[in-house]
Amino acid sequence: MSNAADFELLLRQALTPVDPPADMPERIEATLVNLTAMAADELEAWELSAMRDPRNWVRPAAAVVVGTTAGAALVVLRARQRRRRPRPNVLDAAEQALKDVYGGARKFLPKH
């Protein structure tokens, strides 16, 4: 019977809720910024003449996937950080969210 009690105690200790560190949003944002920058650097170093050989397609394709994913996650994270208080009107909240996402996405697009 004590084995069952010990097992229950171990389960309770293992499944105790843990609060995330206070600096977690900043660390996530810094990681996403670094991933986006590294992907952009990889794509900048890419030579168009090397694309004739399909074996050279892996690194640029991976850089596009990683950069796009990290950039989109960064836009969403920053949009959520800006939205501090709930809005009473759903349409106003949706409009503001779209503005935040559009404004954040424009920062990552190349300027012509």
53-103 tens-digit pLDDT = 888 888 888 999 999 999 899 888 888 877 765 556 777 777 877 888 877
Render pLDDT for 33-53 as a digit per residue (tens, 0 to 9). 999 999 988 888 887 777 788
Number of domains in the chain: 1
pTM (2 d.p.): 0.58
- Which are the contacts of 21, defined by CB distance < 8 A and separation ≥ 6? 27
Asked, for residue 64, whether it belongs to a domain, the answer is yes
Asked, for residue 83, whether it belongs to a domain, the answer is yes
Question: Residue for token digits 């959520």?
Answer: 80
The predicted pLDDT at position 111 comes to 66
Asked, for residue 12, whether it belongs to a domain, the answer is no
Q: Which amino acid is at 45?
A: A
Give the domain range for residue 64: 22-108
The predicted pLDDT at position 69 comes to 93
Asked, for residue 9, whether it belongs to a domain, the answer is no
